Amino acid sequence: MRLTSKPRGHAAANRSALHLSRLNLSGNPDAIEKLRSGDRRALARAISMVENHAPGSIELLKRIFPHTGRAFTIGITGAPGSGKSTLVDQLAKIYRKQNRTVGIIAIDPTSPYSGGAILGDRIRMQDHFSDPGIYIRSMATRGWLGGLARATADVALLLDAYGQDVVMIETVGVGQDEVEIVRLADLTIVILVPGMGDDVQTMKAGIMEIADIFVINKSDHEGADRVERQIRALQSLAHARDPSGASIIRTIANRGEGVEKLAESAFAYRTYLQDGGLIQQHRVRNWELRLLAMLRDSLLEQARATISGGDLRSFAEQIAERQRDPYSVIEEVSRRLRQA
Amino acid sequence: MRLTSKPRGHAAANRSALHLSRLNLSGNPDAIEKLRSGDRRALARAISMVENHAPGSIELLKRIFPHTGRAFTIGITGAPGSGKSTLVDQLAKIYRKQNRTVGIIAIDPTSPYSGGAILGDRIRMQDHFSDPGIYIRSMATRGWLGGLARATADVALLLDAYGQDVVMIETVGVGQDEVEIVRLADLTIVILVPGMGDDVQTMKAGIMEIADIFVINKSDHEGADRVERQIRALQSLAHARDPSGASIIRTIANRGEGVEKLAESAFAYRTYLQDGGLIQQHRVRNWELRLLAMLRDSLLEQARATISGGDLRSFAEQIAERQRDPYSVIEEVSRRLRQA
């Protein structure tokens, strides 16, 4: 059973953003209090606002930020077909039984055309059951030049402020954006399955290196031992941390096997991080990376505001005609921006 | 048979960059003339230099830029296992028979740990046969915050200046970086195969929309009709261009079936673009997008140069401790950069 919510259509999102800016959520302490006290609608509105980078969203994020940092964030990544969603749903159920509240951000890398079709196959748990302790949000990948990593990190903060004990971020883990995303979690779980061609080898550069826990799912399939050997070989290269002796966990997600152990290991890892004071070190490093990414995005936004569409087009024309080269155009524009 | 060259190890690349900057390739008209006249070693050196963003590489690119724009660039993307490399190799052979010179840039999304293993399986045509009319370069994905799209675009320019008639850029097409990459080609080919789970649906957002030609490879497998219906359904939504009546081509790459037709269609598409004057329009639009991406990268580089590592760390610490929020830090740093 797949638990998810449908991504908001553009029209709906825009209406919603407009609505919010009229309500002035960002400047409204009540709305922020509502979000913090577990008001689901206030959370949904805040997420739409942040996703759409609506006016006031930065103000909102600034104000909720001091109330974040409590949630345990888990990044979970694996190739399509690795059973990622099933595992995430099962982890969610286990944590719910332990009375932990759960947020799930499912990054959906599909085309806007087909996105609806995939999600249509899935049962939307929160629509059907409305367990107030679980909140699931699907996010579709956005346009050119990223923006997804930013939006995901910001939505994770909202779920944190909302009070979710565990926030899981689920991605296919193949793109650079997605490496950025899971990398920002406290714990990164990489799911591998036996017999999917190149298995370990098809993972995106940078993913294998940041895994804290490897899951071998579908471990009843032939080749599980081979996958484990591959991981051990990588670990011997990477000196991977192995605090709990459980950094490789075998599961059969559709039968629920091994999932309890995974759920425990995740929290054992957290305890390990906290006891050694490592969690703060880890978060400081993540914030350094995230600040650079935020700075890049912010500078690009400023640049876009400074260079008119007409200028950009005329530069592009000159370049396409080989009257100028793009490298000196960039130098000129950078100079101009500094003088602006 | 897989035709590829091995990506350079870091140590080798660094040595090479050092070597190059001593040789002062960028300021040496002879070296640029050598590259343009088909000197393979000059090309290899220039590529290493550009890949590593070595000192002088921008100078070099500025100087070769006026000699580019002749090559027909083809972006080819498809999921792992879709037969992408086989198709690219077969297209290369066909174009070589037509006496067209060919450059191939194969983007390898694997981990640095395992990259060697995959490439080890492949026969490196140029090492074995050294057909001077073909040049193949594998590029591994690089670190944090991209850089791959930049390097790929720059290497494509070098192959263009070197005189290759056709430059094919082959990627797995799942990450944002990779969308950026294939999007910059004159022609984009998306490869789908029947029976790979969600087929059309698992493609990255943005890829389906920019395809000029769809290939249904392994079209003897069950489900080829279904894939074609899915594509037609998307096309009716997207009003896809269909100049040659051949925007969906069925191939069985490992038997060479349909590949001649694909090779022809690619050039038919080019003729269509050229005759209608569309190729220039297309390139202007691509340069607009690429200028924005270059600007983003350049701004980030400047930002990194302006903020000391110590500042960055101290901001990250304050944020991790919730003494400050990251949004106001970014505002402060942006202000500072403008005053710098």
Cβ <8 Å between A340 and B338: yes
Most confident of A15-19, A321-325, B134-138, B295-299: A321-325
B103 neighbors B164 (Cβ within 8 angstroms)? yes
Cα–Cα separations (whole angstroms), residue B42 to B28, B35, B69:
11, 5, 20
Minimal CA separation from A91 to chain B, in Å: 24
Reply yes or no on whether the pLDDT at A331 is more than 80. Answer: yes
CB atoms within 10 A of CB A97: 9
Based on the domain organization, do A246 and A101 belong to the same domain? yes
Distances (CA, A) of A60 to A24, A66, A224, A300, B28: 10, 11, 47, 22, 55
Distance CA A210, CA B217 (A): 34
CA–CA distance, A235 with A241 (Å, rounded to integer): 9
Burial string for B39-74 (b: 16+ CB within 10 Å, else e) reads beebbbbbbbbbbbbbebbbebbbbbbebbbebbbb
Close Cβ partners of B190 (under 8 Å, ≥ 6 residues apart): B77, B78, B173, B203, B207, B208, B211, B213, B214, B215
Contacts of A177 in chain B (CB under 8 A): 175-176
Task: Indicate left, alpha or beta for B80 from its phi (over 0: left) and psi (-120 to 50: alpha).
Answer: beta
My answer on whether B261 and B157 are in the same domain is: yes
With CA atoms as reference, report the closest residue to B73 among B194, B173, B169.
Answer: B169
Smallest Cβ–Cβ distance between B176 and the set A177, A209, A237 belongs to A177
Contact B202 A80 (CB under 8 A): yes
* Closest partner CB to B326 (pick from A112, A280, A294): A294
Q: A156: which chain B residues are within 8 Å (Cβ-Cβ)?
A: none
Give the pairing of strands A166-171 and A102-108.
parallel
Chain A residues closer than 8 Å to B146 by CB: 176
Provide the token pair at B18: 């050092």
Determine the pLDDT at residue B327.
94
DSSP 8-class letter at A223: T
Residues B304 and B200 both lie in one domain = no
Q: Is residue B35 part of a domain?
A: no
Chain A residue with minimal CA distance to B301?
A296
- φ, ψ (nearest 5 deg) of residue A27: -95, 10
Q: Are B240 and B328 part of one and the same domain?
A: no
**Which of A72-81, B66-75, B203-212 is the least confident region?**
B203-212
Q: Which residue has the higher pLDDT, B182 or A110?
A: B182
Residue B87 has pLDDT above 50, yes or no: yes
pLDDT in tens, A14-39: 444 444 444 455 556 688 899 999 99
Instruction: Determine, yes or no, domain membership for B298.
Output: yes
* Same-domain check for residues A151 and A267: yes
User: Which residues lie closer than 8 Å to A124 by C-beta, 6 or more apart?
Assistant: A3, A4, A5, A6, A136
Element (H, E) at B125: helix B125-128
Task: Classify residue A151: in a domain, yes or no.
Answer: yes
Q: Which residue of A32, A62, A114 is the best one to mutate when testing the B interface, meaning the one whose CB has the most B CBs within 10 A? A: A114
What is the edge-to-edge ordering of all strands in the sheet holding A72-78?
A134-140, A102-108, A166-171, A72-78, A187-192, A213-216, A248-250
Q: Quick one: pLDDT at residue B237? A: 57
HEC per residue, B20-70 = HHHHCHHHCHHHHHHHHCCCHHHHHHHHHHHHCCCCCHHHHHHHHHHHCCC
Mean pLDDT of B76-101: 89
* Chain A, nearest residue to B117 by Cα: A201
Q: Same domain for B150 and B240?
A: yes
Cβ of A234 and B327 within 8 Å?
Answer: no
Contact A208 B296 (CB under 8 A): no
Q: Give the least confident one: A88-97, A177-186, A249-258.
A: A177-186
B299 and B251 in a single domain? The answer is no
- Nearest Cα residue to A79 out of A57, A120, A102, A109: A109
- Min Cα distance B244 → chain A (Å) is 24
- Report CB contact under 8 Å: B111, A197: no
Among residues A254, A276, A298, the one where a domain terminates is A276
pLDDT digits (tens, 9 = 90+) for B126-142: 444 568 899 988 887 55
Instruction: Tell me which chain A residues have a C-beta less than 8 angstroms from the C-beta of B287.
Output: 315-317, 319-320, 326
Contact A136, A125 (CB under 8 A): yes
A47, A154 contact by CB (below 8 A)? no
* Last residue of one domain, picked from the residues B252, B277, B302: B277
Please give the residue range of the domain that contains residue B326.
Answer: 289-339
A145, pLDDT greater than 60: no
Do A95 and A139 lie in one domain? The reply is yes
Minimal CA separation from B243 to chain A, in Å: 22
Q: Is residue A21 included in any domain, yes or no? A: no
- Does residue B129 sit in the same domain as residue B254? yes
- For position B157, what pLDDT does the model report? 96
C-beta of residue A259 within 8 angstroms of C-beta of residue A87 = yes
Report how many domains make up chain A. 2
Cβ-Cβ contacts under 8 Å between A and B: the total is 273
- Domain CATH code at residue A76: 3.40.50.300
What pLDDT does residue B196 have? 59
- Residues B169, B105: contact at Cβ < 8 Å? yes
pTM above 0.95, yes or no: no
The answer to the question of residue B56 being in a domain is no
Weakest mean pLDDT among A293-302, B85-94, B141-150: B141-150
Strands ordered across the beta sheet of B213-216: B134-140, B102-108, B166-171, B72-78, B187-192, B213-216, B248-250
pLDDT of B6-44, one tens digit each? 343 344 444 444 444 444 555 566 888 999 999 999 999
Chain A closest CA to B184's CA: distance in Å? 12
Residue A53 lies in a domain: no
Residues of B whose CB is below 8 A from A283: 320
Sign of the C-alpha dihedral, residues B99, B101, B107, B108? positive
**How far apart are alpha carbons B48 and B46 in whole angstroms?**
5
Residues A268, A220, single domain; the answer is yes
Same domain, B216 and B299: no
The predicted-structure confidence for A121-131, as pLDDT tens digits, reads as follows 344 444 445 68
Q: What is the mean pLDDT of residues B206-235?
A: 82
* Residue of chain A whose Cα is closest to the Cα of B312: A288
Res B113 pLDDT > 60: no
Whole-Å CA distances, B91 to A11, A263, B162, B280, B308: 43, 49, 20, 25, 49
For CA atoms A90, A94, A95, A101, give the dihedral sign: positive
Task: Please name the residues in contact with B92: beta carbons below 8 A apart, sequence gap of 6 or more.
Answer: B3, B102, B104, B134, B168
List CB contacts (< 8 A) between A110 and chain B.
198, 201-205
For residue B297, pLDDT beyond 90:
no
Give domain status of residue A172, yes or no. yes
Picking from A62, A148, A287, the nearest residue to B320 by CB comes out as A287
A192 bridge partner residues? A216
Q: Which two tokens stand for residue A198?
A: 């190149």
Flag if B111 and A206 touch (Cβ within 8 Å): yes
CA-nearest residue of chain B to A305?
B292
Cα–Cα distance measured from residue B311 to residue A212, given in angstroms and rounded to the nearest whole number: 28
- Contacts with B339 from chain A: Cβ below 8 Å: none
The nearest CA of chain A is from the CA of B65 a distance in Å of: 6
CB contact under 8 A, B298 and A330: yes
B174 — pLDDT class (breaks 50, 70, 90) = low
Asked if B303's CB is within 8 angstroms of A292's CB, the reply is yes
In degrees rounded to 5, what are phi and psi of residue B105?
-115, 115
- ipTM for the complex? 0.79
What SS3 state is found at A91? helix
Q: Can you tell me the distance from the alpha carbon of A52 to that of A48, in angstroms, rounded to the nearest whole number?
A: 6
Contact A80 B287 (CB under 8 A): no
Indicate if B296 and B266 belong to the same structural domain.
no
CA angle B245/B246/B250 to nearest 5° reads 145
- Which residue of A lies nearest to B307 if distances are taken between CA atoms? A292
CA A54, CA A149: separation in Å to the nearest integer? 16
The last residue of a domain, from among A276, A305, A323 = A276
**For chain B, what percent of residues have pLDDT higher than 70?**
72
pLDDT in tens, A226-248: 888 877 776 665 554 444 344 89
Mutation site, B291, B323, B338, interface A, largest A CB count within 10 A: B291
* Minimum CA–CA partner of A67 in chain B: B322
The C-alpha of B98 sits at a distance from chain A's nearest C-alpha, in angstroms, of 27
